[in-house]
C-alpha cells in the first residue's frame, strides 16, 4: 500500500526546520532527503529514520522495524510524535548530521 500524498506533505512541512527536505518516490515508497542525504522513508503512511548512534541517543530505546519487506530495520517513529515539530526536527538534524555524504556519481561514458 502506498503512502498518501497528505502524509508526505504533512511530514515535509513538519521537518522543514531541519533544512531543505525533499521527497522522492522510489519503489512505491517515498525517500526523504536533506543536504543530499537520504535520511528517512515514508512507507505505508509510516515514518522510518535511518538508524544512527545520534538518533538512538535522542530516542532512547527506539522501536525498530523494516520499512519494506527484506529491508534492514530502521527507527519507526510513532504517528503521535509527528505533531511535536521541534522534537521531530531535532531528531532529523541529529540523524542527518550523523550520515556520511553520498558518494559522487561516476561521470557517464560517452560513445
pLDDT at 105 (0 to 100): 80
pLDDT at 111 over 70: no
pLDDT, tens digit (0-9, with 9 covering 90-100), for 42-67? 999 999 999 999 999 999 999 999 99
User: Is the pTM higher than 0.85?
Assistant: yes
CATH homologous superfamily for 5-98?
A: YgaC/TfoX-N like chaperone (3.30.1460.30)
pLDDT, tens digit (0-9, with 9 covering 90-100), for 92-102? 999 999 999 88
Contacts 24+ apart (CB under 8 A), 11-19: 11/42, 11/47, 11/82, 14/82, 14/83, 14/85, 14/88, 14/89, 15/40, 15/88, 15/89, 15/92, 16/89, 17/85, 17/86, 17/89, 18/89, 18/92, 18/93, 18/96, 19/93, 19/96
pLDDT, tens digit (0-9, with 9 covering 90-100), for 9-40? 999 999 999 999 999 998 889 999 998 899 99
For 4-16, b where at least 16 C-beta lie within 10 A, e where not — what string? eeebbeebeebbe
pLDDT at 106 (0 to 100): 79
Amino acid at each position: 500500500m502506498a503512502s498518501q500524498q497528505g502524509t508526505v506533505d504533512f511530514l515535509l512541512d513538519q521537518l522543514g526546520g531541519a533544512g531543505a527536505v525533499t521527497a522522492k518516490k522510489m519503489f512505491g515508497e517515498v525517500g526523504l532527503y536533506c543536504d543530499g542525504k537520504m535520511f528517512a522513508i515514508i512507507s505505508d503512511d509510516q515514518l522510518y529514520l535511518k538508524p544512527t548512534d545520534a538518533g538512538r541517543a535522542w530516542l532512547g530505546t527506539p522501536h525498530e522495524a523494516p520499512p519494506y519487506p527484506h529491508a534492514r530495520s530502521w527507527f519507526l517513529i510513532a504517528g503521535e510524535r509527528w505533531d511535536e515539530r521541534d522534537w521531530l526536527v531535532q531528531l532529523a538534524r541529529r540523524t542527518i548530521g550523523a550520515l556520511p555524504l553520498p558518494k559522487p556519481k561516476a561521470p557517464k561514458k560517452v560513445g
